[in-house]
Structure formats: C-alpha cells, structure tokens
Chains A and B, each alone.
Chain A
Amino acid sequence: MEVRVANVRKEFDRFPALHDVSLDIRSGELIALLGPSGSGKTTLLRLIAGLEMPTAGKIFFGDTDASEKTVQERNIGFVFQHYALFRHMTILENISFGLKVRPRSTRPPAGEIRRRAMELLDLVQLSGLEKRYPNQLSGGQRQRVALARALAIEPGVLLLDEPFGALDAQVRRELRKWLREIHDRTGHTTVFVTHDQEEALELSDRLCVMSQGKIEQVGSPDEVYDHPTSPFVFGFIGDSSELPVTIENGEVWVGGRAIGIPAHDTPTGPARLYFRPHDADLIEADASMAGVVTASRRVGGTRRVELEVGGDGHKVEIDLPFDHPAGEKTRLSFRPKRWKLFPAA
C-alpha cells in the first residue's frame, strides 16, 4: 500500500518535533528514516502508525485519509526497539494475539489462527519454540518473534522503530540481511527508523534523511551518497571533509590560490567545499590543494591522512592506499575528483 504524508506538523507541548513534512512512500518499497536523535524520525513513524496524532496535516493510506483513524483501525504492523513482547504469553500466543482480539465477525477460527501463527514462526525460523516464553529467548530471537507478531495481522504497512538498536553487532548484521529477505518474500510496504547509516544504506530501497524535524533528502542509497543535496546530508552519510573556500572568476580558491576546480554555477564569494576522503587524487600541479600532514593512521586497507590546508588551521582528511609511498611524506598536494559546493553557513 502507498503511504502519503502530506504537510504534517507535530508539536509536543508547543515544542515542534516535525515541521511541515511531506513524504510519498511507494507500495512495496523498503524505506529507511535516517537521522540523528531528535531529528523527528521516530515521531514521523509513530504518526504513520497512529500512535501519535498530527497537530496539522494529513496521512493517506492509498486513497483513504488515515489521519482520523485510530491506531487499531489502521491495520499497521509495528515492531518496537525493545521488542515489547507480552511476557506472560508464550511465543505462539504472542503471535496469535492480533488475530485473537479481532471482533468475532472478522476473527478466523481458532485452528486457522494457530496454523497461521505456526507458519509465521516458520518464516522467522523459530519453529519449535512456540511454547517458550519471551524471557527464555535471546534478543535476536525476541525481535524475530516481534516481527512475526506484527506480520500476523497482515498489515498494510510494516513499521519498525530502530528494530536492531538493542542487539549486538553480530546479531544485528544477520538480522539485517534476514529482514531484507523477508521483505523481498512478503512484499510489504516497510518503513524503518534507524540512526545507523550503514544499516540504512545496506537495507533500504530508498532512504529519507531527517534533521531537526525536517526531511533533508529522499532518494536511493546511491543518490543520497553520491549526490547529497545539503551540507547536513554530506556530513551525516559517509565520511566527508569540509573546507571553507572562496569563489572567484568561476573557480574555487583556497588560501589565495585556485585549486583547479571549476565553479561556474556558484555565486562569487565565500562557500564551503565538501568531498569524500576516498575521492582525492594526489597530483603534482600548481592548481591543487597543498597541506601539511598532521596525522596519519592505517584503517584496514587504506591509510587515512589528516592535512592542514590553507593556512587557517583547517583540517581535511584524504585516503591513500596503505602502501602508497606518499604516506611517508610531510607535505601532500591533491585535488578532489568529486566534490560539492554549498553556500557559506
């Protein structure tokens, strides 16, 4: 099902958590809401769920206005960070709960409920544990039960709030892959909240980067990584180096010299240059950035070098192959091959 968030604003005790947010979620896609804490990503998820009501704006499920529907009426599946399993119920009872609480007219017969719950238990690879209590499962197993429970009601939209946030790194990676598989198999429209960019980039079809109650950028992982549209996104997704520069005569100037980067579309005056450390080429030319090496450390297969550039004490980082001879030098000249210019703050 498509979900359309239209000009939604949300205030908590007059404190604005979301300002005029609009987002179209496509049917069947897996979309990540990514942002630092306090960016409003969880609030947006809870508004879609109906756990919060918007101060202004509307939320559509398909063509129907869901904004006035209660959480019970919206038929969504919600997975909580801390699982929120019912501790006094067995795993099977947890998964069947959503079907059992339906009014008699729409409730499947008991045998059918059980059959469906067992099927889901199989889907989440926990067959045989149906009689256990949540307390007797590991964190990863609990989260899989929580997902099965949410899927049991055949939700129109699946919403996950930091679903792997409480798990350790190893389990996290496994569950991430597994969630992708489940999504591909079941085809639910899925929205998940995360503050982990790696998770968002790896898992989602599209991601929606949020900051301070606003959406910064929406796009595929590649788009967002390769073409960030704001300094925030550039800084938040992936590693980045930033440098204050000056634009003159359609060129970028650092410390009084042009560095060989054209800037025809940027107005003359101060600006900020962003690039990724791995997008730097070492060059021996006048039109380049030159810097003094202030630190150098080996990170896996690359060497990350910190340079002081432009004489004002600004530092940038570039990556070199770990065995590159330039790693020994105290002075380096380089030029980014991909970059982005933003107006000065």
Chain B
Amino acid sequence: MGRKLLLDKAHIEGIRYYDVYRKNGGYAAAEKALKSMSPDLVTEEVKKSGLRGRGGAGFPTGLKWSFLAKPEGVPRYLVCNADESEPGTFKDRYLMEFIPHLLIEGLLISSFALGANRTYIYIRGEYAWIPDILEEAIAEAHKNGWLGKNIQGTGFDLDIYVQRGAGAYICGEETALIESLEGKRGNPRIKPPFPAVKGLWQCPTVVNNVETLAAVVPIINIGGDEYAKYGTGKSTGTKLISACGNLNKPGVYEIDMSISVEEFIYSDEYCGGIPNGKRLKACIPGGSSVPILPANLLLKTAKGEQRMMTYESLNDGGFATGSMMGSGGFIVLDEDQCVVRHTMSLARFYHHESCGQCSPCREGTGWMKKVLLNIENGKGKESDIDLLWDIQRRIEGNTICPLGDAAAWPVAAAIRHFRDEFEWHVRHPEEAVKRNFGLAHYADPLPVAAPAAAV
C-alpha cells in the first residue's frame, strides 16, 4: 500500500466533524505551529518540505510565501483557490467534502505563517453544496477556539469566509480569481504587479490551491525534512490524482510520487485497468491543458525508461515526447475513442471559457473549435491540419494569462502525436463519420534510439 498523508483518515466515519477529526490527531499541527513556532519557522518548514503548488503550475509553495510583501499597517490576505475547473480534475472537491477540517487547519497554519487575519476560500459556483460543509466546519472550529479572536490564547486572530464563484474556468487563474472576489468579471490582470505585492483590494495576497494548503498540515506534523522523504527527487510528498475516462475504478487516489504510470493505471490498488478488455490508446495525465500522449509514450519515455508519476518523469522529453503533472487530472482514452472528437470537445471548452480580453485567445479558440468540428463532421480539408497548427502557435505565449497556452497545447499535442488520425479523417470523411480510427499503432513499442556517438 502506498503511504498517505492527506487521505489517511478520510475513511474514518464522521471525520467530517470536529470531534472525530480532533480525536484522530486533528489540529495537532495547528497547536504545534501557533504555540511553539514562529511564522518564519513555519515558512521554513514548508520550504524544506519541497512542497510544490498542487493547482497545476507546480511552483514551490515556500518560495511563493517568501515573496509576500509585508508593508507596515497594510493587511495581508490568504486566498484558497477552490475553483477546480480543469477538465479531468475533481480532487479538491473530494478533500473538501470528506475531510473539510484538514483544509481549515491548513488555512489556519498558513494564515499564521503569512500574517493574514482574514482568509477566503473561493470555490467554484457549481460546487453549490460544499460551502455548507465548509461553513459548518468553520463554525465548529470557531466554537472550539481555533478561529476568531486570540486563537488558543496565542493572540493570533483569524476569520475564514467562503465565497462562491458563478461558473468561469478562468477564475482559477489567480488574478482573475482576485478580480472575481472583488465582485468583477474574471479578467486576469497584467503582471507585474504580482498578487504578492498587490492582490486582493491592492493588498499583498497569496493564492494557494486547496490540496497545497491541506498538505501544510502533515508538513508541520512530521516536519519538512520528513515530508521530503516521500516521493522522488523534486517531486516530494504525496499527490492527489483524480482519474477518469475509460478506467475500471475512476476516482481520487493519493499517491506517493514513486509509482509508475503503468502501476497507477493497471494495478488493483489504483485504477484497476481498462474496462471490457479494451486497450489503452491515449492519456492526458495532468488535466485537459497538458499534452495528450499515445499509450506507448505514456508508459515509457522516448529514452525507453519506465515513466513515473512524478513532475519530472511526466515532463521527460519536454512537449516533444512528454507531458506534465499539471493538476493531477488523469484522463484515459481506450482504443474506441476518437482523438479528433476529444480534441474538439476540449477546444470547445476553451472557447467557452476564454474571458475575451486578448484577441489571440478569444478569436483563436473559436477558430480551432470550428476547424476541428469541420474535420470531425467529415468536412475537413488536408490544409486544415496545418491551419490548426498555425492557429495554436499564434495563441501560445501571446496572451495575458496562461489560458491561451492551455488552449493551444492540447491541439498541438493531438496533431503532434496523432497526425495520421487527423489525416485519415480528412481523407476518408465518409468513413470517419461512421467509425473511429481505432488503436492503430499508438500502443506499439517505440524503437529506442541507440545512444548517440560522442560528438
């Protein structure tokens, strides 16, 4: 069994409630931090742990905290990003629904480290029943002296509020989230200034993902050094993976970042393989924005090494032959799935979610959707494939926020690895509307290049 740090107690009956959570070691980390550590020491432990942002970007959390400006007399804010909207990702929802006090405790310790006295959880509007669960947990924490004024007699004050969004993927981007929290459209801001200097209401602000903030609890409990012993290399600790698509056991899994992709998909401890004896065709390992890989490149790197569930290994080969850990949204496609159609659905998603500020993204996502829809409907031309490549290239890097890149990458990767499937669609339109291209050669073992002679 893999070791767990976040969901190890999630199965305990009643863990949603304060008494059960407390009885099972809950708020011990908060007690330790508030009563025996300084804010800087907490940040130091988070740095030592090697924790990287679990929302998708993977930026070192301790470092992000250390950027927070601390001008005298200006309030500082911590905002928890619970906007979870990346297709394939549903891990934060699980954590908030089943073990909400872990997040509240993480928020308490993190707010203490950052010197924030007012903290917001910004949750996507569609998760409409979860604010009730969180607010109940907050009320219980208040009642037991973990929130409010002079927490546990330490002199530290904190209030946590839950804010619901109203349906906008873009609000997962931290500056769009801040705009939304200020009661505006979710248009990302131009950086700099970064939120660490001018964020919520122009005050210094840290925005962290739900899972990131929850991970602060085990880090304080066992210490940053001990936490860093979990995982591999710079992928320290455990990671929540939400697995979906064509799998026997889709769901949320906490993995120690030392297992292989193959083990994650096929072992009974995790996803239990692919239903109905079908074969694996492709996978998007880190949420819809990261590159899709064919089965052969997913399970082994281009160098022929086993691919592991770590930030580094998933990225091995860069975008040419690798992908990314991203948000941990693991989408599996079996041999019956059509990559063109799937890519079209993602292009439609990004077109719908583009905020419209930047022309390349606003216009480009619409064009990509239209061209892909034409190909899917048997009306595509050979030149459409190059046209798609051209559009995505003109979006990437040319927008205020990363939504542009996020829209471009799935299309680029689909053409890079599945070009023959696109070509088959445009060359055999009548056949393509009736049946799918199938597995083709996408699971065939790759020729391993002989080591290059020394130059």
A binds B: no
